[in-house]
Amino acid sequence: MKAKRSNPTMKDVAREAGVALGTVSKVMNNIPVGAEYRVRVEEAAKKLGYQVNSYAKGLKTNHTGIVALIIPSVRHPFFGLLTDYICQVLMTRGMRTLLATTESDMEMENKCIRLAQQHKVEGIIALTYNPNIEMDEDVPFVSIDRFYTNRVPCVAADNYGGGQLAAEKLVELGARKLLFLRIGSSVIGEPDKREAGFESWCQLNKVPCHVIHLNDEDGFNPFYDFLRDHVRDGRPEYTGIFCSTDQLAVIIVKKLKEMGLSVPEDVQVIGFDGLMNFDETPYCSSIVQPVEKMAETAVDILLSEDRSKLPALTCLPVTYRPGGTTRDNEA
Amino acid sequence: MKAKRSNPTMKDVAREAGVALGTVSKVMNNIPVGAEYRVRVEEAAKKLGYQVNSYAKGLKTNHTGIVALIIPSVRHPFFGLLTDYICQVLMTRGMRTLLATTESDMEMENKCIRLAQQHKVEGIIALTYNPNIEMDEDVPFVSIDRFYTNRVPCVAADNYGGGQLAAEKLVELGARKLLFLRIGSSVIGEPDKREAGFESWCQLNKVPCHVIHLNDEDGFNPFYDFLRDHVRDGRPEYTGIFCSTDQLAVIIVKKLKEMGLSVPEDVQVIGFDGLMNFDETPYCSSIVQPVEKMAETAVDILLSEDRSKLPALTCLPVTYRPGGTTRDNEA
DNA sequence: TTGTAAGCGTTATCAC
DNA sequence: GTGATAACGCTTACAA
């Protein structure tokens, strides 16, 4: 553990090296300079433990090398994973991550955006369903999972295709009637397309399909009721369930087992997200979001040179992965 | 979604309001100023959509309102949770979080510390087992789970006490012989005390206790071998297992079941961390780390006014929580 | 190629 | 209480 002296400035380095201030600056920025000088400056810098003051630098250049990430939390596995990747990708692009967790509180979201702008970040990546985002026209902004306008690029998984894929898989695995389950207050983001894709596939393929929106008041009763009302020969009729998230799927599987139904024998369940338990095993069969790809894409778009022609919406392909809650051969 | 005009400066506001530059500065910093002036300035600022440039401000004041958090990742539930709390607590203290994930790579850790210092952060909170941290003497530093020297405050859970508690609980719940399991390369952090506490309790209470360090080469063989070698009447002799982390505990439980042993009937398992699955249910019976308290404490120490007398090591109390892998009455 | 000097947007120190 | 003015540490013409 080494300790270094404090706060030497370029002026100090210049004096130490016996060169002009501008020369030091050039060395620090890799601008061609006499080899002899370069060495002198580098030695002086090392000796004094000099580090550029990026605030002074940022003030001049308006480039801070910081990108703000605004996200509901970092403790939910999906957000944690996404944050992790974004942070890593930004690092490889020479950028730092300013993290702001908002708990999806709109006021907080706007506050964080304001703060980010004050800090002159190079751009903002945000995951919010806030309809009244107050964004500065000229700080690059990329939204994840939420389409605002053509002027704000949005990156998301192919939620619609994922919904279709879930339906297709469930039928392929033997389910004749399908159920879609979703929980929580209605939002207006890309994830809503999971339901749309699911339903459209069923319609197109003439597969009976029912949709249940769970809410906080009724709890799981609508689900219980539906299952009880649709029984045939003592077995549930709807044997394929698609849940809007893995989280919900895990809960539903538990509920089903409590009801004496076995998963995947009696009923098959597919979730959405593709999260892994921390022993690297899937929570459930799931439509896997390409989280790493989403992170890369978001960063690429945010930092792209030519901001005049950006894709308004980028949907990245999802995949299906068995995870024990479906009757796959190889599961 | 509103859009604002770009980059007005204090000078612009001053001109717009018809006052001097200094007056604007005072208004922005809540320094007493004529009521009439204050109103004029505030209106002008709003009209122009003015926001302070914190880089210019930081250059002057050397206060950036940013704290760096250096952590292996944010995708592991424990780190995710910790990051979440730290970010929240910092926010309530008027600080922003600069996040750096290192994957515990030492080079990366030092690089991140260097970058943080360049960004003139108010302080650094780091979770690293890096022995050669290159830290600047005069940027406040708080370490989590790793004691360096008396000069660097360290915040951790009471790992030693947690180890004792685990042993005590296992015996209380009926185990006569105890096993400690730990995996991975040896580190030199506070978490090592889990083992020490566990052993010391056993010694003090004359309870037979065996320790196994799993490593990558041998895999779980040492564990299997030990279990096989210590059987009595067809039942394992060591019926209480303490794992150094919840993650390991989850794996061990799985292995035990594969061996035909049932948990918690045949063998009881306690982990460490107290993590919750994302459906808010514990992974296993566990010694719970006070993560939120750790976050608060780390931030408090980092930002404390008087840095002359700081606690070198703060160990926060842990608790035991049943989680289905022990034979607790109420589990 | 190297050195000089003018700002970048703030804050802080003064006279007023 | 208010308003010029000099820094803060750096980049970048531009002059040498």
| The pLDDT of residue B1 is above 80 | no
Region of poorest pLDDT, from A318-327, B58-67, B244-253: B58-67
| The pLDDT of residue B213 is above 60 | yes
State both tokens at B319.
């608790």
User: Can you tell me which residue has the tokens 């019926």?
Assistant: B239
CA A270 – CA B92 distance, rounded (Å): 39
Confidence at residue A128, expressed as pLDDT on a 0 to 100 scale: 94
CA B311 – CA B152 distance, rounded (Å): 9
Higher pLDDT, A130 or A289: A289
* DSSP-derived 3-state class of residue A41: helix
Spatial CA neighbour of A120 closest among A195, A198, A67 = A67
Confidence at residue A309, expressed as pLDDT on a 0 to 100 scale: 87
Confidence at residue A305, expressed as pLDDT on a 0 to 100 scale: 86
Q: Does B91 touch chain A (CB under 8 A)?
A: yes
CB atoms within 10 A of CB A228: 10
Confidence at residue B329, expressed as pLDDT on a 0 to 100 scale: 65
CA B198 – CA B195 distance, rounded (Å): 5
Tell me the average pLDDT of chain B.
92
pTM of the model: 0.94
Phi/psi for A89 (5° steps) reads: -65, -45
CA A213 – CA B50 distance, rounded (Å): 44
Burial of B2 (0-12, 13-18, 19+ CB in 10 A): exposed
Cα–chain-centroid distance for residue B207?
32
* CB < 8 Å to B87, chain A: 74, 99-101
* CB < 8 Å to A88, chain B: 101
Phi/psi for B137 (5° steps) reads: -55, -35
Q: What is the pLDDT of residues A183-222, one digit of tens each?
A: 987 678 999 999 999 999 999 999 999 999 999 889 999 9
Cβ atoms of B25 and B10 within 8 Å: the answer is: yes
CB of A31 nearer than 7 A to strand C: no
Confidence of residue B3 (pLDDT cuts 50, 70, 90): very low
State what percent of residues in chain B have pLDDT above 90. Answer: 73
CA A273 – CA A159 distance, rounded (Å): 10
A92's CB contacts (< 8 A; 6+ apart) are none
Cite the DSSP H helix spans in chain A: 10-17, 21-28, 35-48, 54-61, 77-92, 106-118, 159-172, 193-204, 221-229, 246-258, 291-303
Nucleotide nearest to A29 (CA to C1'): D11
Q: Helix-strand-coil percent breakdown of chain A, rounded to 5?
A: 40, 20, 40
Spatial CA neighbour of B37 closest among B25, B24, B52 = B24
Greatest extent of chain A over all pairs of C-alpha atoms, in Å: 93
Distances (CA, A) of A86 to A36, A43, A71, A110, B21: 41, 36, 11, 21, 40
* Inter-chain residue contact B118 with A52, CB threshold 8 Å: yes
A29 CA – D16 C1', rounded, Å: 23
Instruction: Report angle CA A41, A45, A48 to the nearest 5 degrees.
Output: 140
B64 CA – C10 C1', rounded, Å: 13
* DSSP-derived 3-state class of residue B185: coil
Nearest residue to nucleotide D11 when comparing alpha carbons to its C1'?
A60
CB of B207 nearer than 7 A to strand D: no
Nucleotide nearest to B61 (CA to C1'): C11
When pLDDT is averaged across residues A167-181 and rounded to a whole number, the result is: 97
Q: What is the pLDDT of residues A51-79, one digit of tens each?
A: 999 889 998 888 899 999 999 999 999 99
DSSP-derived secondary structure for A156-216: EE-HHHHHHHHHHHHHHTT-SSEEEEEESS---SGGGHHHHHHHHHHHHTT--EEEEEEBT
Q: For testing the chain A interface, which of B55, B139, B151 should be mutated: the one with the most A CBs within 10 Å? A: B55
Task: Name the DSSP class of A115.
Answer: H
B119 CA – D12 C1', rounded, Å: 22
CA A55 – CA A181 distance, rounded (Å): 50
Tell me the average pLDDT of chain A.
92
Q: What is the pLDDT of residues B70-118, one digit of tens each?
A: 999 999 999 999 999 999 999 999 999 999 999 999 999 999 999 999 9
Q: What is the pLDDT of residues A289-299, one digit of tens each?
A: 999 999 999 99
Confidence of residue A2 (pLDDT cuts 50, 70, 90): very low
* Inter-chain residue contact B98 with A96, CB threshold 8 Å: yes
CA A254 – CA B42 distance, rounded (Å): 56
| The pLDDT of residue A319 is above 60 | yes
CA A194 – CA A178 distance, rounded (Å): 14
A183 CA – D6 C1', rounded, Å: 61
Is the C-alpha dihedral spanning A272, A273, A278, A280 positive or negative?
positive
CB atoms within 10 A of CB A5: 13
When pLDDT is averaged across residues B277-288 and rounded to a whole number, the result is: 94
Confidence at residue A6, expressed as pLDDT on a 0 to 100 scale: 55
Task: Name the DSSP class of B191.
Answer: G
When pLDDT is averaged across residues B53-78 and rounded to a whole number, the result is: 93
Task: Name the DSSP class of B155.
Answer: E
Nucleotide nearest to A20 (CA to C1'): C3
Confidence at residue B4, expressed as pLDDT on a 0 to 100 scale: 42
DSSP-derived secondary structure for B71-83: ES-SSSHHHHHHH
* Inter-chain residue contact A75 with B88, CB threshold 8 Å: no
State both tokens at A240.
């394929």
| The pLDDT of residue B2 is above 50 | no
| The pLDDT of residue B255 is above 80 | yes
| The pLDDT of residue A329 is above 70 | no
Q: How many CB pairs under 8 A join A and B?
A: 166
Confidence at residue A137, expressed as pLDDT on a 0 to 100 scale: 81
User: Can you tell me which residue has the tokens 């792209």?
Assistant: A304
State both tokens at B331.
């589990």
Spatial CA neighbour of B136 closest among A95, A50, A98 = A50
When pLDDT is averaged across residues B276-302 and rounded to a whole number, the result is: 96
When pLDDT is averaged across residues B48-73 and rounded to a whole number, the result is: 92
Q: What interhelical angle do B10-17 and B35-48 show, nearest 10?
A: 120
Confidence at residue B6, expressed as pLDDT on a 0 to 100 scale: 56
B137 CA – C14 C1', rounded, Å: 35
Cite the DSSP H helix spans in B49-187: 54-61, 77-92, 106-118, 159-172
When pLDDT is averaged across residues A251-257 and rounded to a whole number, the result is: 95
Q: Does B319 touch chain A (CB under 8 A)?
A: no
Confidence at residue A186, expressed as pLDDT on a 0 to 100 scale: 67
Distance from the B72 Cα atom to the nearest Cα atom in chain A, whole angstroms: 10
Q: Does B35 touch chain A (CB under 8 A)?
A: no
CB of A312 nearer than 7 A to strand D: no
User: Can you tell me which residue has the tokens 């978490």?
Assistant: B191
**Chain D footprint positions (protein CB, under 7 Å):** 1-5, 7-13
| The pLDDT of residue B264 is above 90 | yes
Confidence at residue A37, expressed as pLDDT on a 0 to 100 scale: 87
Confidence at residue A146, expressed as pLDDT on a 0 to 100 scale: 94
CA dihedral of residues B300, B306, B309, B315 (deg, nearest 10): 0
